[in-house]
Chains A and B, each alone.
Chain A
Amino acid sequence: MKSDKQLIDETGIRSDGRKPDELRNVIIKAGVLHRADGSCYLEWGGNKVIAAVYGPREAIPRHSQNSLRAIVNARYNMAAFSVDDRKRPGPDRRSREISKVISEALEKVILTDYYPRAAIDVNIEVLNAEAGTRCAGLTAAGVALADAGIPLKDIPVACAAGKIGATEEDGTFTGGHVVLDLGKEEDNFGNADLPIAIAPRTNEILLLQMDGHLSSDEFERALDYAIKGCHDISKLQKEALLKKYNVSEGDE
Protein backbone atom coordinates (compact mmCIF):
# COMPACT_ATOMS: atom_id res chain seq x y z
CA MET A 1 0.00 0.00 0.00
CA LYS A 2 1.34 3.43 -0.87
CA SER A 3 0.14 6.90 -0.16
CA ASP A 4 1.44 10.34 -0.92
CA LYS A 5 0.58 11.54 2.51
CA GLN A 6 3.58 12.38 4.65
CA LEU A 7 3.37 10.43 7.89
CA ILE A 8 6.18 12.26 9.64
CA ASP A 9 7.75 15.64 8.89
CA GLU A 10 11.35 16.86 9.05
CA THR A 11 11.06 17.99 12.65
CA GLY A 12 9.89 14.54 13.75
CA ILE A 13 6.24 15.46 14.31
CA ARG A 14 3.77 12.85 13.12
CA SER A 15 0.61 13.40 11.08
CA ASP A 16 -1.56 13.42 14.20
CA GLY A 17 0.77 15.85 15.99
CA ARG A 18 2.50 13.35 18.24
CA LYS A 19 6.23 13.04 18.87
CA PRO A 20 7.89 9.75 17.82
CA ASP A 21 7.83 8.38 21.37
CA GLU A 22 4.40 9.66 22.38
CA LEU A 23 1.43 7.43 23.15
CA ARG A 24 -2.14 8.13 22.21
CA ASN A 25 -4.51 9.06 25.02
CA VAL A 26 -5.48 6.08 27.18
CA ILE A 27 -8.45 5.86 29.56
CA ILE A 28 -9.03 2.74 31.66
CA LYS A 29 -12.03 1.92 33.85
CA ALA A 30 -12.19 -1.27 35.92
CA GLY A 31 -15.37 -3.13 36.87
CA VAL A 32 -17.90 -1.71 34.43
CA LEU A 33 -20.08 -4.81 33.99
CA HIS A 34 -22.20 -6.33 36.76
CA ARG A 35 -22.85 -9.80 35.42
CA ALA A 36 -19.22 -10.64 34.70
CA ASP A 37 -16.83 -11.66 37.48
CA GLY A 38 -14.42 -8.98 36.33
CA SER A 39 -14.46 -6.38 33.58
CA CYS A 40 -12.69 -3.39 32.11
CA TYR A 41 -13.46 -0.65 29.62
CA LEU A 42 -10.53 0.86 27.80
CA GLU A 43 -10.12 3.71 25.34
CA TRP A 44 -6.84 3.96 23.50
CA GLY A 45 -6.91 6.83 21.05
CA GLY A 46 -9.87 5.90 18.84
CA ASN A 47 -9.99 2.30 20.06
CA LYS A 48 -12.81 1.37 22.38
CA VAL A 49 -12.62 -2.05 23.96
CA ILE A 50 -14.54 -3.94 26.65
CA ALA A 51 -13.09 -7.02 28.32
CA ALA A 52 -15.10 -9.35 30.56
CA VAL A 53 -13.79 -12.26 32.62
CA TYR A 54 -15.88 -15.23 33.73
CA GLY A 55 -14.71 -17.95 36.05
CA PRO A 56 -12.80 -19.84 37.15
CA ARG A 57 -15.55 -22.33 36.49
CA GLU A 58 -15.67 -25.96 35.51
CA ALA A 59 -14.38 -26.37 31.95
CA ILE A 60 -16.92 -27.60 29.44
CA PRO A 61 -16.60 -29.85 27.41
CA ARG A 62 -15.05 -32.29 29.83
CA HIS A 63 -12.26 -33.43 27.50
CA SER A 64 -10.89 -29.89 27.42
CA GLN A 65 -10.20 -30.01 31.17
CA ASN A 66 -6.68 -30.26 32.43
CA SER A 67 -6.46 -32.06 35.77
CA LEU A 68 -3.40 -30.03 36.78
CA ARG A 69 -4.29 -26.47 35.84
CA ALA A 70 -6.96 -24.16 34.56
CA ILE A 71 -7.32 -23.45 30.87
CA VAL A 72 -7.60 -19.89 29.59
CA ASN A 73 -9.98 -19.12 26.76
CA ALA A 74 -9.69 -15.63 25.38
CA ARG A 75 -12.13 -14.66 22.69
CA TYR A 76 -11.34 -11.55 20.66
CA ASN A 77 -14.24 -10.22 18.63
CA MET A 78 -14.77 -7.10 16.58
CA ALA A 79 -18.26 -5.63 16.58
CA ALA A 80 -19.89 -5.24 13.17
CA PHE A 81 -19.93 -1.46 13.68
CA SER A 82 -16.32 -1.19 14.81
CA VAL A 83 -14.88 -0.30 11.39
CA ASP A 84 -15.75 2.04 8.51
CA ASP A 85 -17.38 -0.62 6.37
CA ARG A 86 -19.54 -3.07 8.24
CA LYS A 87 -17.46 -5.98 9.46
CA ARG A 88 -19.05 -9.33 8.72
CA PRO A 89 -19.85 -10.69 12.19
CA GLY A 90 -18.42 -13.92 13.52
CA PRO A 91 -14.97 -15.39 13.95
CA ASP A 92 -12.59 -15.12 11.04
CA ARG A 93 -8.95 -16.02 10.40
CA ARG A 94 -7.66 -12.83 11.96
CA SER A 95 -9.76 -12.86 15.12
CA ARG A 96 -8.99 -16.54 15.73
CA GLU A 97 -5.29 -15.84 15.51
CA ILE A 98 -5.55 -12.92 17.92
CA SER A 99 -7.68 -14.97 20.34
CA LYS A 100 -5.02 -17.66 20.35
CA VAL A 101 -2.04 -15.39 20.95
CA ILE A 102 -3.89 -13.47 23.68
CA SER A 103 -4.93 -16.73 25.39
CA GLU A 104 -1.33 -17.86 25.45
CA ALA A 105 -0.07 -14.53 26.72
CA LEU A 106 -2.62 -14.50 29.58
CA GLU A 107 -1.90 -18.13 30.48
CA LYS A 108 1.66 -17.13 31.30
CA VAL A 109 0.66 -14.66 34.01
CA ILE A 110 -2.33 -16.45 35.57
CA LEU A 111 -1.50 -18.85 38.41
CA THR A 112 -3.48 -21.57 36.69
CA ASP A 113 -2.47 -24.42 39.00
CA TYR A 114 -4.79 -23.09 41.71
CA TYR A 115 -7.79 -24.15 39.69
CA PRO A 116 -7.39 -27.63 38.19
CA ARG A 117 -10.13 -28.69 35.75
CA ALA A 118 -11.41 -25.13 35.51
CA ALA A 119 -11.69 -22.66 32.66
CA ILE A 120 -11.17 -18.93 32.78
CA ASP A 121 -13.04 -17.21 29.97
CA VAL A 122 -11.95 -13.79 28.76
CA ASN A 123 -14.17 -12.03 26.27
CA ILE A 124 -12.69 -9.06 24.46
CA GLU A 125 -15.13 -7.01 22.45
CA VAL A 126 -13.81 -4.29 20.14
CA LEU A 127 -16.46 -1.59 19.85
CA ASN A 128 -14.42 0.84 17.81
CA ALA A 129 -11.21 -0.02 15.99
CA GLU A 130 -8.39 2.32 15.11
CA ALA A 131 -5.08 0.43 14.86
CA GLY A 132 -3.67 -1.54 17.76
CA THR A 133 -6.81 -3.33 18.93
CA ARG A 134 -4.93 -6.45 19.98
CA CYS A 135 -2.78 -4.38 22.33
CA ALA A 136 -5.82 -2.55 23.65
CA GLY A 137 -7.69 -5.83 24.08
CA LEU A 138 -4.88 -7.53 25.97
CA THR A 139 -4.35 -4.52 28.20
CA ALA A 140 -8.06 -4.46 29.04
CA ALA A 141 -8.05 -8.22 29.66
CA GLY A 142 -5.23 -7.78 32.19
CA VAL A 143 -7.25 -5.28 34.22
CA ALA A 144 -10.39 -7.43 33.98
CA LEU A 145 -8.52 -10.48 35.29
CA ALA A 146 -7.22 -8.58 38.29
CA ASP A 147 -10.71 -7.17 38.86
CA ALA A 148 -12.14 -10.72 38.87
CA GLY A 149 -9.88 -11.60 41.81
CA ILE A 150 -7.97 -14.19 39.82
CA PRO A 151 -4.46 -14.88 41.15
CA LEU A 152 -1.90 -13.32 38.82
CA LYS A 153 1.87 -13.22 38.73
CA ASP A 154 1.68 -9.90 36.97
CA ILE A 155 -0.82 -7.66 35.22
CA PRO A 156 -0.09 -8.11 31.51
CA VAL A 157 0.19 -5.03 29.35
CA ALA A 158 0.65 -4.57 25.62
CA CYS A 159 1.86 -1.80 23.35
CA ALA A 160 3.09 -1.49 19.77
CA ALA A 161 5.94 0.27 18.02
CA GLY A 162 6.70 0.49 14.33
CA LYS A 163 8.40 2.22 11.48
CA ILE A 164 6.94 4.90 9.23
CA GLY A 165 8.00 7.26 6.49
CA ALA A 166 10.56 5.18 4.59
CA THR A 167 10.82 5.69 0.83
CA GLU A 168 10.78 2.69 -1.44
CA GLU A 169 13.00 2.39 -4.50
CA ASP A 170 13.18 -0.89 -6.41
CA GLY A 171 12.16 -2.86 -3.36
CA THR A 172 14.71 -1.35 -0.98
CA PHE A 173 13.64 0.99 1.76
CA THR A 174 15.63 4.03 2.80
CA GLY A 175 15.08 6.39 5.70
CA GLY A 176 12.08 6.04 7.94
CA HIS A 177 11.51 6.64 11.63
CA VAL A 178 10.90 4.21 14.43
CA VAL A 179 7.85 5.43 16.33
CA LEU A 180 5.76 4.34 19.29
CA ASP A 181 2.09 3.29 19.10
CA LEU A 182 1.04 3.51 15.43
CA GLY A 183 -2.16 5.35 14.62
CA LYS A 184 -4.65 4.38 11.92
CA GLU A 185 -2.86 5.88 8.93
CA GLU A 186 0.56 4.97 10.19
CA ASP A 187 -0.59 1.37 10.52
CA ASN A 188 -2.12 1.28 7.05
CA PHE A 189 0.62 3.12 5.16
CA GLY A 190 3.63 2.61 7.43
CA ASN A 191 6.47 0.17 6.90
CA ALA A 192 6.37 -2.05 9.95
CA ASP A 193 4.31 -2.74 13.06
CA LEU A 194 5.60 -4.53 16.16
CA PRO A 195 2.98 -5.27 18.85
CA ILE A 196 4.36 -6.75 22.05
CA ALA A 197 2.94 -7.71 25.45
CA ILE A 198 5.05 -7.89 28.56
CA ALA A 199 4.81 -8.73 32.24
CA PRO A 200 5.92 -5.31 33.51
CA ARG A 201 7.47 -6.54 36.77
CA THR A 202 9.99 -8.82 35.08
CA ASN A 203 9.97 -7.44 31.53
CA GLU A 204 9.20 -10.95 30.32
CA ILE A 205 7.78 -10.91 26.80
CA LEU A 206 4.37 -12.57 26.55
CA LEU A 207 3.55 -11.77 22.95
CA LEU A 208 5.58 -10.50 20.05
CA GLN A 209 4.38 -10.21 16.49
CA MET A 210 5.78 -8.29 13.58
CA ASP A 211 4.25 -7.11 10.36
CA GLY A 212 6.59 -5.57 7.73
CA HIS A 213 10.36 -5.27 7.68
CA LEU A 214 12.78 -3.85 10.24
CA SER A 215 16.56 -4.08 10.31
CA SER A 216 17.90 -5.66 13.48
CA ASP A 217 19.01 -2.23 14.62
CA GLU A 218 15.55 -0.77 14.07
CA PHE A 219 14.00 -3.79 15.73
CA GLU A 220 15.99 -3.22 18.90
CA ARG A 221 14.95 0.40 18.97
CA ALA A 222 11.29 -0.41 18.32
CA LEU A 223 11.37 -3.01 21.09
CA ASP A 224 12.81 -0.49 23.54
CA TYR A 225 10.12 2.02 22.60
CA ALA A 226 7.35 -0.53 22.98
CA ILE A 227 8.61 -1.74 26.36
CA LYS A 228 8.75 1.85 27.58
CA GLY A 229 5.20 2.37 26.29
CA CYS A 230 4.05 -0.76 28.11
CA HIS A 231 5.38 0.57 31.40
CA ASP A 232 3.50 3.83 30.93
CA ILE A 233 0.25 1.98 30.22
CA SER A 234 0.91 -0.35 33.16
CA LYS A 235 0.82 2.63 35.52
CA LEU A 236 -2.60 3.59 34.17
CA GLN A 237 -3.85 0.02 34.64
CA LYS A 238 -2.81 0.00 38.28
CA GLU A 239 -4.33 3.42 38.90
CA ALA A 240 -7.61 2.25 37.39
CA LEU A 241 -7.72 -0.81 39.68
CA LEU A 242 -6.86 1.11 42.82
CA LYS A 243 -9.35 3.80 41.92
CA LYS A 244 -12.20 1.33 41.60
CA TYR A 245 -11.49 -0.32 44.95
CA ASN A 246 -10.75 2.88 46.82
CA VAL A 247 -14.03 4.39 45.67
CA SER A 248 -16.31 1.42 46.12
CA GLU A 249 -14.69 0.06 49.27
CA GLY A 250 -13.22 3.19 50.78
CA ASP A 251 -14.18 4.37 54.21
CA GLU A 252 -16.45 7.36 53.94
Chain B
Amino acid sequence: MSQSEREIVIPSQYLGECDQFKSGRGTFIENGKIYSQIIGILQRNEKYLNVISLKGKYDAVTGDTVIGIIDAAMSSSWLVNINAPYPALLHVNEVPWRVEFNETDKYLNSGDTIMTVVSSVDMEKKLQVSMKDRNLFKIKGGTIIDVEPSKIPRIIGKKGSMIQLLKKYTQCRIFVGKNGRIWIDGKQDMIGKAIQAIKLIEKESISFGLTDKIEDFLKHNSDLKEV
Protein backbone atom coordinates (compact mmCIF):
# COMPACT_ATOMS: atom_id res chain seq x y z
CA MET B 1 0.00 0.00 0.00
CA SER B 2 2.12 2.80 -1.27
CA GLN B 3 -0.39 5.54 -1.88
CA SER B 4 -0.51 8.37 0.58
CA GLU B 5 -4.24 8.82 1.03
CA ARG B 6 -7.04 6.31 1.29
CA GLU B 7 -10.07 7.40 -0.65
CA ILE B 8 -13.50 5.93 -0.02
CA VAL B 9 -15.48 5.38 -3.20
CA ILE B 10 -19.12 4.48 -3.73
CA PRO B 11 -20.82 2.46 -6.48
CA SER B 12 -20.98 4.19 -9.89
CA GLN B 13 -18.19 6.61 -8.98
CA TYR B 14 -15.91 7.46 -11.90
CA LEU B 15 -12.37 6.22 -11.30
CA GLY B 16 -10.38 6.60 -14.48
CA GLU B 17 -9.96 6.01 -18.19
CA CYS B 18 -9.66 2.56 -19.65
CA ASP B 19 -6.53 3.30 -21.70
CA GLN B 20 -4.59 4.50 -18.64
CA PHE B 21 -5.49 1.82 -16.15
CA LYS B 22 -6.77 -1.72 -16.13
CA SER B 23 -9.98 -2.40 -14.33
CA GLY B 24 -9.23 -4.51 -11.26
CA ARG B 25 -11.30 -5.92 -8.43
CA GLY B 26 -14.54 -4.17 -7.54
CA THR B 27 -14.72 -2.14 -10.72
CA PHE B 28 -16.43 -2.35 -14.10
CA ILE B 29 -15.96 -0.76 -17.51
CA GLU B 30 -18.56 1.11 -19.49
CA ASN B 31 -17.78 3.07 -22.67
CA GLY B 32 -14.06 3.05 -21.99
CA LYS B 33 -14.41 4.44 -18.48
CA ILE B 34 -13.80 2.64 -15.20
CA TYR B 35 -16.35 2.89 -12.42
CA SER B 36 -16.55 1.43 -8.93
CA GLN B 37 -19.18 -1.21 -8.35
CA ILE B 38 -19.01 -1.40 -4.56
CA ILE B 39 -18.47 0.82 -1.57
CA GLY B 40 -14.83 0.50 -0.63
CA ILE B 41 -11.35 1.91 -0.58
CA LEU B 42 -9.70 2.89 -3.86
CA GLN B 43 -6.30 1.37 -4.45
CA ARG B 44 -4.26 2.90 -7.28
CA ASN B 45 -1.45 0.72 -8.57
CA GLU B 46 0.69 1.53 -11.55
CA LYS B 47 -1.48 -0.54 -13.81
CA TYR B 48 -4.63 -1.38 -11.93
CA LEU B 49 -7.47 0.36 -10.22
CA ASN B 50 -8.85 -1.81 -7.43
CA VAL B 51 -11.63 -1.17 -4.98
CA ILE B 52 -11.27 -3.08 -1.72
CA SER B 53 -14.73 -3.62 -0.31
CA LEU B 54 -15.60 -2.38 3.14
CA LYS B 55 -18.53 -4.68 3.59
CA GLY B 56 -20.18 -7.71 2.11
CA LYS B 57 -20.28 -11.48 2.07
CA TYR B 58 -17.21 -13.69 1.84
CA ASP B 59 -16.34 -14.50 -1.75
CA ALA B 60 -15.02 -18.08 -1.62
CA VAL B 61 -11.73 -18.75 -3.40
CA THR B 62 -10.22 -22.22 -3.86
CA GLY B 63 -7.45 -22.85 -1.36
CA ASP B 64 -8.64 -20.45 1.35
CA THR B 65 -8.52 -21.74 4.91
CA VAL B 66 -11.84 -20.92 6.53
CA ILE B 67 -13.72 -21.60 9.75
CA GLY B 68 -17.02 -23.32 9.12
CA ILE B 69 -20.04 -24.11 11.25
CA ILE B 70 -21.89 -27.34 10.49
CA ASP B 71 -25.44 -26.65 9.35
CA ALA B 72 -26.67 -30.19 8.88
CA ALA B 73 -25.39 -33.76 8.77
CA MET B 74 -26.66 -35.80 5.84
CA SER B 75 -26.11 -39.48 5.13
CA SER B 76 -22.78 -39.09 3.36
CA SER B 77 -21.91 -35.44 3.72
CA TRP B 78 -22.33 -32.31 5.79
CA LEU B 79 -23.53 -28.85 4.91
CA VAL B 80 -21.18 -26.21 6.25
CA ASN B 81 -21.86 -22.51 6.72
CA ILE B 82 -18.70 -20.65 5.74
CA ASN B 83 -20.20 -17.16 5.71
CA ALA B 84 -20.53 -17.23 1.91
CA PRO B 85 -23.87 -16.70 0.16
CA TYR B 86 -24.13 -20.46 -0.25
CA PRO B 87 -23.66 -23.43 2.09
CA ALA B 88 -20.60 -25.58 1.33
CA LEU B 89 -20.57 -29.35 0.98
CA LEU B 90 -18.17 -31.48 3.04
CA HIS B 91 -18.13 -35.05 1.80
CA VAL B 92 -17.21 -38.00 4.07
CA ASN B 93 -14.22 -38.76 1.85
CA GLU B 94 -12.86 -35.33 2.67
CA VAL B 95 -12.58 -35.79 6.44
CA PRO B 96 -9.67 -37.38 8.33
CA TRP B 97 -11.90 -40.08 9.87
CA ARG B 98 -13.42 -43.21 8.43
CA VAL B 99 -17.15 -42.60 8.53
CA GLU B 100 -19.73 -45.33 7.93
CA PHE B 101 -22.77 -44.50 5.80
CA ASN B 102 -25.45 -42.74 7.86
CA GLU B 103 -23.09 -42.25 10.78
CA THR B 104 -21.95 -38.75 9.90
CA ASP B 105 -23.58 -37.28 12.98
CA LYS B 106 -21.27 -39.31 15.24
CA TYR B 107 -18.36 -37.17 14.07
CA LEU B 108 -19.71 -33.74 13.31
CA ASN B 109 -23.09 -32.38 14.21
CA SER B 110 -25.04 -29.24 13.58
CA GLY B 111 -23.37 -26.41 15.49
CA ASP B 112 -19.88 -27.92 15.54
CA THR B 113 -17.06 -25.77 14.28
CA ILE B 114 -14.27 -26.85 11.97
CA MET B 115 -11.14 -25.50 10.37
CA THR B 116 -11.47 -26.38 6.72
CA VAL B 117 -10.20 -25.43 3.31
CA VAL B 118 -12.20 -24.48 0.22
CA SER B 119 -11.45 -27.28 -2.26
CA SER B 120 -13.58 -26.23 -5.21
CA VAL B 121 -15.81 -23.45 -6.47
CA ASP B 122 -17.62 -24.12 -9.74
CA MET B 123 -19.41 -21.95 -12.30
CA GLU B 124 -22.63 -22.05 -10.37
CA LYS B 125 -20.70 -21.15 -7.21
CA LYS B 126 -21.32 -24.59 -5.75
CA LEU B 127 -18.83 -24.81 -2.91
CA GLN B 128 -16.94 -27.81 -1.61
CA VAL B 129 -14.70 -27.88 1.41
CA SER B 130 -12.19 -30.42 2.62
CA MET B 131 -10.56 -31.31 5.93
CA LYS B 132 -7.87 -33.56 4.43
CA ASP B 133 -4.84 -31.64 5.55
CA ARG B 134 -2.58 -31.74 8.58
CA ASN B 135 -3.61 -28.49 10.19
CA LEU B 136 -7.35 -28.85 9.72
CA PHE B 137 -9.36 -30.06 12.67
CA LYS B 138 -12.57 -29.89 14.61
CA ILE B 139 -12.48 -26.92 16.96
CA LYS B 140 -13.02 -27.55 20.65
CA GLY B 141 -13.10 -24.79 23.25
CA GLY B 142 -12.12 -21.19 22.73
CA THR B 143 -14.19 -18.42 21.25
CA ILE B 144 -15.15 -17.54 17.71
CA ILE B 145 -15.76 -13.97 16.63
CA ASP B 146 -17.02 -12.60 13.35
CA VAL B 147 -15.44 -9.67 11.52
CA GLU B 148 -15.89 -8.25 8.04
CA PRO B 149 -14.15 -10.63 5.60
CA SER B 150 -12.57 -7.65 3.85
CA LYS B 151 -10.72 -6.70 7.05
CA ILE B 152 -8.93 -10.05 7.38
CA PRO B 153 -5.74 -8.89 5.58
CA ARG B 154 -5.50 -6.03 8.09
CA ILE B 155 -5.84 -8.40 11.04
CA ILE B 156 -3.11 -10.64 9.67
CA GLY B 157 -0.90 -7.67 8.83
CA LYS B 158 2.13 -7.49 6.56
CA LYS B 159 3.71 -10.96 6.56
CA GLY B 160 1.63 -11.76 9.64
CA SER B 161 3.02 -8.90 11.72
CA MET B 162 -0.28 -7.96 13.32
CA ILE B 163 -1.31 -11.48 14.21
CA GLN B 164 2.15 -12.18 15.68
CA LEU B 165 1.70 -9.14 17.86
CA LEU B 166 -1.67 -10.36 19.09
CA LYS B 167 -0.30 -13.81 19.85
CA LYS B 168 2.74 -12.41 21.63
CA TYR B 169 0.86 -10.12 23.99
CA THR B 170 -2.18 -12.27 24.71
CA GLN B 171 -0.53 -15.71 24.75
CA CYS B 172 -3.57 -17.05 22.91
CA ARG B 173 -3.85 -19.51 20.07
CA ILE B 174 -5.42 -17.52 17.26
CA PHE B 175 -6.56 -18.88 13.93
CA VAL B 176 -7.87 -16.53 11.29
CA GLY B 177 -10.25 -17.88 8.64
CA LYS B 178 -10.34 -16.01 5.35
CA ASN B 179 -14.13 -15.89 5.63
CA GLY B 180 -14.10 -13.41 8.50
CA ARG B 181 -14.23 -15.82 11.44
CA ILE B 182 -11.47 -15.84 14.02
CA TRP B 183 -10.93 -18.54 16.62
CA ILE B 184 -9.17 -17.58 19.82
CA ASP B 185 -8.21 -19.99 22.60
CA GLY B 186 -6.38 -19.18 25.78
CA LYS B 187 -6.95 -17.71 29.23
CA GLN B 188 -10.35 -16.12 29.59
CA ASP B 189 -9.17 -12.55 30.29
CA MET B 190 -6.64 -12.81 27.49
CA ILE B 191 -9.34 -13.87 25.05
CA GLY B 192 -11.26 -10.78 26.05
CA LYS B 193 -8.28 -8.61 25.35
CA ALA B 194 -7.59 -10.23 22.00
CA ILE B 195 -11.21 -9.62 21.01
CA GLN B 196 -10.93 -5.97 22.05
CA ALA B 197 -7.79 -5.56 19.99
CA ILE B 198 -9.35 -7.20 16.94
CA LYS B 199 -12.43 -4.98 17.21
CA LEU B 200 -10.09 -2.00 17.34
CA ILE B 201 -8.29 -3.17 14.22
CA GLU B 202 -11.61 -3.64 12.45
CA LYS B 203 -12.83 -0.20 13.46
CA GLU B 204 -9.68 1.65 12.46
CA SER B 205 -8.65 -0.48 9.54
CA ILE B 206 -8.32 2.53 7.26
CA SER B 207 -5.89 4.47 9.40
CA PHE B 208 -2.13 4.39 9.09
CA GLY B 209 0.42 3.13 11.58
CA LEU B 210 -2.13 0.72 12.94
CA THR B 211 0.39 -1.92 14.00
CA ASP B 212 2.06 0.56 16.36
CA LYS B 213 -1.27 1.70 17.70
CA ILE B 214 -2.31 -1.85 18.46
CA GLU B 215 1.03 -2.57 20.10
CA ASP B 216 0.50 0.44 22.35
CA PHE B 217 -3.00 -0.76 23.15
CA LEU B 218 -1.83 -4.26 24.02
CA LYS B 219 1.12 -3.05 26.10
CA HIS B 220 -0.99 -0.54 27.94
CA ASN B 221 -3.53 -3.15 28.92
CA SER B 222 -1.10 -5.83 29.99
CA ASP B 223 1.48 -3.99 32.10
CA LEU B 224 1.01 -6.55 34.88
CA LYS B 225 1.39 -9.56 32.65
CA GLU B 226 4.12 -8.17 30.44
CA VAL B 227 5.83 -11.01 28.65
Contact = CB atoms under 8 A, between A and B. Distances in A.
Physical interaction between A and B: yes
Interface of A: 37-38, 55-58, 67, 111, 115-118, 146-155, 199-202, 238, 241-242, 245-246, 248-252
B11 interface: yes
B49 to A, nearest CB: 15
B11 A154 contact: yes
A235 to B, nearest CB: 12
Interface stretch (B50-58, B176-184, B186-194): B50-58
Contact of B10 (A57, A111, A242): A242
B28 A249 contact: no
Interface string B110-123: 00000000000001
29 contacts: A56-B57, A56-B85, A57-B86, A116-B123, A116-B124, A116-B125, A117-B86, A146-B10, A147-B39, A149-B54, A149-B57, A150-B56, A151-B37, A152-B11, A153-B30, A154-B12, A155-B10, A155-B11, A201-B35, A202-B30, A245-B8, A249-B204, A249-B205, A250-B206, A251-B206, A251-B207, A251-B208, A252-B204, A252-B207
B205 A148 contact: no
Contacts of B66: none
Contacts, number: 93
Contacts of A38: 55
B16 interface: no
B86 A238 contact: no
B153 interface: no
Count chain B CB atoms within 10 A of each CB in A57, A147, A152 and give the residue with the most. A152
A8 B196 CA distance: 59
A152 B124 contact: no
B204 A251 contact: yes
B35 A55 contact: no
Tell me if B's interface is mostly helix, strand, loop or mixed. Answer: loop
A29 to B, nearest CB: 15
Contacts of B86: 57-58, 117-118
A245 B12 contact: no
A146 B53 CA distance: 11
B11 A117 contact: no
Interface string B36-71: 011110000000000001111100000000000000
A182 B162 CA distance: 55
Nearest to B9: A242
Contacts of B208: 251
A238 B14 CA distance: 13
Contacts of B57: 37, 55-56, 149
A60 to B, nearest CB: 11
B225 to A, nearest CB: 28
B217 to A, nearest CB: 14
Contacts of B207: 251-252
Given A151-B28, A151-B37, 5 more contacts: A37-B56, A117-B124, A118-B125, A151-B38, A251-B208
Contacts of B24: none
A58 B11 contact: no
Interface residues of B, number: 29
Nearest to A201: B12
A238 B11 CA distance: 9
B85 A146 contact: no
Nearest to B51: A151
A245 B205 contact: no
Contact of A249 (B8, B12, B124): B8
Contacts of A148: 55-56
B173 to A, nearest CB: 29
A154 B123 CA distance: 25
Contacts of A58: 85-87
A200 B10 CA distance: 13
Interface in B12-33: 12, 26, 28, 30
Nearest to B87: A58
A52 to B, nearest CB: 14
Given A56-B85, A115-B125, A252-B204, A153 B11 contact: yes
Contact of B8 (A57, A147, A201, A242): A242
Contacts of A147: 39, 55
A209 to B, nearest CB: 24
Contacts of B54: 149, 245, 249
Contact of A152 (B12, B30, B206): B12
Contacts of B11: 146, 151-155
